[in-house]
Amino acid sequence: MIEISGISKWYGPRQVLRECSLHVKKGEVVVICGPSGSGKSTLIKCVNGLESFQRGEIRVDGISVGDSGADLPRLRSRVGMVFQHFELFPHMRALDNVNLGQIHVLGRSPEEAARKSRELLARVGLAEHADQYPAQLSGGQQQRVAIARALAMDPIAMLFDEPTSALDPEMISEVLEVMTALARQGMTMLVVTHEMGFARSVAHRMVFMDEGRIVEDAPTPAFFDSPQSERARQFLSRILRH
Amino acid sequence: MSALDWSSIPGALPFLLQGMGLSLGLLLSAMLGGILLGTLLALLRLARRRPLAALAGAYVNLFRSVPLVLVIFWFYFLAPFILRRLTGRADAAVGPLYSALVAFTLFEAAYYCEIIRAGIQSVSRGQVAAAQALGMSHGQVMRLVVLPQAFRRMVPLLLTQGIILFQDTSLVYVISLSDFLGAAGKIGQRDGRLVELYLFAAAVYFALCFAASRGVGRLQRRLRA
């Protein structure tokens, strides 16, 4: 489904990704973790072409992302993305946020889109909040609307870029619950997160990044029980100590 | 020095009101046209295609570097000339009103462009990324996500620029249009009461513009809240 092969990226002289390779199969949930500045977010944004890269290849459902002729809008319409800072459109109600892409990108009728949106808002527990503006919602609620907005496009895969790191602690679980349900339903997911409890319970594989490199890529139990690299061991001991 | 005599004003009110109508008409048309053209220029200035951005930049710099009164003059004399060349008819006329309208629109567009460009740039990159991630084209990102937010933020600035434009419409006296100031001048000259009429005109401009800026200030506070 998502095949990242030998990706390298530079910001000017500084190399931020070093020959990263990672494959996500259909229905698989892969969690990327690592210290901040290790390139996790940059890597995930390369998958739908929000960030460019200089070397290597990324194929999503057979389409090469880096090709100059790639139809990026079409590809992006099929891959959902959830951002750290939610990025709901503040001038629209929750319902219209979820409608927008369906109507203008997929060409659904407003009625059809609204039906689907209400169904999805109900699924993330926000049926009552459809008519509210993002500013009237809590962070956790906003992020759930953002997940509904991405799901409304009927994506073949979902990308999550630190979806809970801008949230107050008591709101993290409501977002993770939605993500866990999604994973259980068989959605293909690539998730950048520090939530190790979530990772341990739903991820099929764990990827550990450090200094732009993928240092470890292992099945979840193996990663937590016996990390191979010293850096991953240090990272885990620091993050799991609490 | 003789005392001020205001007696010629009441009888001239209908004529002055007509002048005010012209001033406001010029203001509204130039604002509308200027904002439309300014938006287009702003999008061009931000375009990835360098030649387009440079062209729009040159336009803005040109119009922001010449006095408005000269632009009004040029269009008054140039527009009929160009029209005659294009149509081949010696009697083709534009008239001062339309030439002034074109001049104001083109001139204001340069200023609106800069306001709108700043507004577009104030919308965060995350918003653009979120819109792109839904599969929107560049045009859709702008039309559905960026411009609505940018305009909301820009409303006070656009209105303030409108107040300045309202004062500037008085410059059409150079092509003998009877806007509010022009009408006041004509009455003043007719009755030999120029000082009174110009004082009256100043008071009216002050009252309108002051009230409008207070209104914009209040709107700005409400938008911020």
Q: What is the pLDDT of residues B85-143, one digit of tens each?
A: 888 777 777 788 888 999 999 999 999 999 999 999 999 999 999 999 999 999 999 99
What does the mean pLDDT of chain A come to?
94
> Considering the domain B12-224 in this protein, what is its CATH number?
1.10.3720.10
Residues of A in contact with B151 (CB under 8 A): none
> Closest to B135 (Cβ–Cβ): which among A45, A73, A91?
A73
Helix (H) or strand (E) holding A215: strand A213-219
> Closest to B134 (Cβ–Cβ): which among A85, A91, A100?
A100
* ipTM at complex level: 0.93
Q: Cα separations (Å) of A9 from A17, A30, A41, A212?
A: 5, 21, 13, 9
**Strands of A34-185, DSSP E:** 55-60, 63-64, 79-82, 157-161
pLDDT of res. B86: 83
Residues of B in contact with A78 (CB under 8 A): 135
Q: Check whether A3 has a pLDDT greater than 70.
A: yes
Q: Check whether A242 has a pLDDT greater than 90.
A: no
pLDDT of res. A90: 95
Residues in A lying within 8 Å of B, measured between beta carbons:
45, 48, 50, 72-81, 83, 85, 87-91, 100-101, 104-105, 146, 149-150, 153
Q: Check whether B1 has a pLDDT greater than 60.
A: no
pLDDT of res. B84: 83
Beta carbons within 8 Å of A21's beta carbon, 6+ residues apart: A4, A5, A6, A7, A56, A214
Q: Cα separations (Å) of A35 from A63, A212, A232, B9, B49?
A: 30, 10, 10, 78, 38
Mean pLDDT across A169-186: 94
Nearest residue in chain A measured CA to CA from B133: A76
CA–CA separation, B134 vs B198, rounded Å? 59
Sequential DSSP letters for A1-30: -EEEEEEEEEETTEEEEEEEEEEE-TT-EE
Q: How confident is the model at residue A68 (pLDDT cuts 50, 70, 90)?
A: confident
CA–CA separation, A186 vs A192, rounded Å? 18
- Per-residue pLDDT tens over the stretch B148-180: 999 998 999 999 999 999 999 999 988 889 999
B136 touches chain A (CB under 8 A): yes
CA–CA separation, B56 vs B42, rounded Å? 8
B144 touches chain A (CB under 8 A): yes
pLDDT of res. B225: 64
Highest mean pLDDT among A152-156, A231-235, A237-241, B99-103: A152-156
pLDDT of res. B2: 66
> Closest to A89 (Cβ–Cβ): which among B129, B135, B145?
B145
- Per-residue pLDDT tens over the stretch B29-55: 999 999 999 999 999 999 888 899 999
Provide the H-helix boundaries in chain B.
Answer: 8-45, 50-64, 68-87, 96-121, 125-133, 138-140, 147-168, 180-191, 194-224
pLDDT of res. B222: 86
> Closest to B149 (Cβ–Cβ): which among A45, A90, A153?
A90
User: Largest alpha-carbon pair distance within chain B?
Assistant: 75
Binary contact (B127, A91; C-beta < 8 A): no
User: pTM for this one?
Assistant: 0.85
B92 touches chain A (CB under 8 A): no
Nearest partner of A68 among A79, A83, A57, A82, judged by Cα: A57
CA–CA separation, B157 vs B117, rounded Å? 12
User: Largest alpha-carbon pair distance within chain A?
Assistant: 55
**Residue A26: φ, ψ to 5°:** -60, 130
